[in-house]
Amino acid sequence: MKKKFSMSEQEILDLIHISIDQLSKLVEVRVLYCTNIAECQNESNYFVVNNNISVIDLPDECETGYIVPHSLELGKRPKGATFYFNKNDYKDIKNQKESMDKKEKRPSLGKPAGWDKINKKDYEVYFHRGHIIAYSLGGDKEIKGHDYKALKSLFTQTAWSNMGKANKKKEDENKFSQWHFKKIIKDTLVTDSICMASRPIYRNKADVIPIGVHLQAVTKERSLFNVFLPNIDPNIVIDYKKCTFKPKK
């Protein structure tokens, strides 16, 4: 049985170099570490936003696609997107993805902001090209190998934050990574249509790599989640401005 690796609130805040009050200001609403919320007290490694209540509106029934398309801020880094998943379309999206994966014809990914600088020795161990809207849910539509589109659609994300993967210590794996919340969406799409918003969060105008991503999702009947996932790895310290990293002492 895998050990569930848990970081404390302060350990995470130290790695993203801000206080909880500063994080709440950046996200623009009150943020609490998950263990402070009754329904999430046995979970770890992420923050709950607005008591886990999504503030996005579910549009009238429509086809799967972008409600708010990808865009850039400051001309160089992704701002985020809002996406509508129609439950009636998900089966087709899933089948198309599986077909592309088998044929190895998935569009080549471009380079997100900061990728050239962080693309050094061991980068594949620690970093992924993270999707703002998941590829498996239709989020590759605006990428298809074009660098400009990749700047809008992708961000430099740790493997630990994206998929829960630890670099060398398997016991450090993150059970509550972005993959966990993507699975909530996939499971819910069996019965309900969903609107999801994904927004990279930066400490300031100088940072190139986000310190995390603000994710929220809602169905017609309920809020699925409203969370902030830190863009960290417990074994390294990231310079989000210079796009460099070093082992954590």
State the Cα–Cα distance between residues 64 and 154, nearest whole angstrom.
Answer: 20
The per-residue pLDDT for 2 is 45
Give domain 9-247's CATH architecture. Answer: 3-Layer(aba) Sandwich (3.40)
The per-residue pLDDT for 43 is 94
The string over 97-115, giving b where at least 16 C-beta atoms fall within 10 Å of a residue's C-beta and e elsewhere, is beeeeeeeeeeebbebbbb
The per-residue pLDDT for 105 is 54
User: Where do the domains of the chain lie?
Assistant: 9-247
Residue pointed to by tokens 């809602």: 218
Query: ∠ CA 156-43-39 to the nearest 5 degrees?
Result: 120
Q: What is the pLDDT along the chain (249 residues), one digit of tens a residue?
A: 344 589 999 999 999 999 999 999 999 999 999 999 999 999 999 999 999 999 998 888 788 888 998 889 877 899 999 999 999 887 777 666 665 555 555 556 778 998 888 766 667 789 999 999 987 787 766 555 566 677 888 999 999 999 998 665 666 789 999 999 999 999 999 999 999 999 999 999 999 999 999 999 999 999 999 999 999 999 999 999 999 999 888
Query: To the nearest 10°, the Cα dihedral for 112, 113, 116, 120?
Result: -90
Residue pointed to by tokens 């050990």: 3
Burial class (CB in 10 A: 0-12, 13-18, 19+), 86: middle
Contact yes or no for 32/21 (Cβ under 8 A):
no
